[in-house]
Amino acid sequence: MTSKSYIEQVLRELKEKHAEKKEFIQAVEEFLPTLEIYLDEHTEIIEKNLLSLIVEPERLIQFRVPWQDDKGKWQVNRAYRVQYNSAIGPYKGGLRFHPTTNESIVRFLGFEQIFKNSLTGLPIGGGKGGSDFDPKGKSDSEVMRFCQSFMTEFQKHIGPDIDVPAGDIGVGGREIGFLFGQYKRLNGYTAGVLTGKPLNSWGSLARTEATGYGLVYFVQNALKDRQDSLKDKKVVVSGSGNVSIYAIEKAQELGATVLTCSDSSGYIYDADGIDLDLVKEIKEVRRSRIKDYIDVHTDAVYVEGESVWTLKEAYDIALPCATQNEIDLNAAHEIAKAGAKIVAEGANMPSSKKAIDSYSKNGILYCPGKSANAGGVAVSALEMAQNSARLPWTFEKVDSELKIIMKNIYIVCSETASKYAEKNNLMAGANIAGFDRVIQAMISQGLV
């Protein structure tokens, strides 16, 4: 059997089992074909049918979360944890609290997480989870009661050497704090069971900034490899959450002008550069909508109900940091028309398959999320190390380690791309490099 026919067979069987899980199928369909040339050199993977093993999670947990709202009404939400692959370490990956969270979403996120974690070079496997609970509009008391109920069941399945969750969309310091408190109540003080914790609970400095900073460090390395830098570059960022805010911060620090940010209601365009302090106040303090920006900066433009990727102004770099599938083929065409030369993903799978194909045709360097946004999980692993040693690190030390990790991720992706495809094909480089470490560990451990 050829590599191509084997991949097609695995995909066909997967679609028969999971036809309704469109995000999961999309993630696997984008991933497996990039391995074809690698499989040509490693025929034992085909002989042992290892692709069928790696696309199947080791464990999938689903449970209900009953909780009481402020009016005394009983509520219930559905929760998931996919413990996907532990070949190179305990399961590691975030929890997402968002109404769209379902089995397909956590499967796709968990599958991507395997290879993202592998690329960090740190001993962490892949997992993901969450709930269809929406923290927006909920009081702190309601969020606390939900988190306590969630953790009462969830704690049976996690531990510092088993599965170490973190935050994701809808799960920030407040939620992690409540989750950690309930775990401690039930199991005693075990700092390493969650990452992204508040600093007063042995969280790590620079964890909040890590995904956004790491994204920009990855781009910085890609530009440096091409004798260029971020200085004077015009950058478009989507989203206004944690990843977006700190990507904006680091890009501005390195000399770029960031023109946009957004939320689900619309986007802001500020030709003078985004006022990050104001964005932080709106989103982190007021917990309000991004349209409030124009109350202060009246020369800025607020475009309601549209994506930043409809922007007609010229720019150099696109940083999608909002959510999956925010860039379709039409949006990719607009990015190319704007003159962008780099698309680097701060979100997970924000680009559709057709959009990714369009980047290549238009000479845009595509930096996939599993490599470009790995800084968050990398610093989560560094938080685990600090917890194990019972020693906190300075912000500067963590940030220095993050820079090294992101540089190494870029190098391994670029070198692997050059070996198996071409230097600019960072998607193939990231996929193959991440896959290689995991699959070799699986082979060495036998059929488990």
Q: Which domains does the chain have, with CATH numbers?
A: 59-190 (3.40.50.10860), 208-367 (3.40.50.720)
Q: What is the pLDDT of residue 67?
A: 98
Q: What is the pLDDT of residue 85?
A: 98
Q: What is the pLDDT of residue 292?
A: 97
Confidence band, pLDDT 50/70/90 cuts, at residue 267: very high
Q: What is the pLDDT of residue 73?
A: 98
**How many angstroms separate the CA atoms of 183 and 158, rounded?**
10
Percent of all residues in the chain with a pLDDT value above 90, rounded to a whole number: 98
Per-residue pLDDT reduced to its tens digit, 34-71: 999 999 999 999 999 999 999 999 999 999 999 999 99
Q: What is the pLDDT of residue 296?
A: 97
Percent of all residues in the chain with a pLDDT value above 70, rounded to a whole number: 100
User: Within 10 A of 273 (CB to CB), how many other CB atoms are there?
Assistant: 15
**pTM of this structure:** 0.94
With CA atoms as reference, report the closest residue to 68 among 149, 178, 136. 149
Annotated catalytic residue within 128, 197, 341, 370: 128
With CA atoms as reference, report the closest residue to 35 among 343, 444, 428. 428
Q: What is the pLDDT of residue 261?
A: 97
The answer to whether residue 278 scores a pLDDT higher than 90 is yes
Average pLDDT of the residues in 212-219 = 98
Q: What is the pLDDT of residue 284?
A: 87
370 is catalytic: no
Average pLDDT of the residues in 293-316 = 97
Q: What is the pLDDT of residue 335?
A: 98
Q: What is the pLDDT of residue 166?
A: 96
Q: What is the pLDDT of residue 144?
A: 98
Average pLDDT of the residues in 296-319 = 97
The answer to whether residue 266 scores a pLDDT higher than 90 is yes
Mean pLDDT, the chain, as a whole number? 97
Average pLDDT of the residues in 333-355 = 97
Per-residue pLDDT reduced to its tens digit, 156-176: 999 999 999 999 989 999 999
Per-residue pLDDT reduced to its tens digit, 240-259: 999 999 999 999 999 999 99
Per-residue pLDDT reduced to its tens digit, 72-108: 999 999 999 999 999 999 999 999 999 999 999 999 9
Confidence band, pLDDT 50/70/90 cuts, at residue 286: confident
The answer to whether residue 287 scores a pLDDT higher than 90 is no
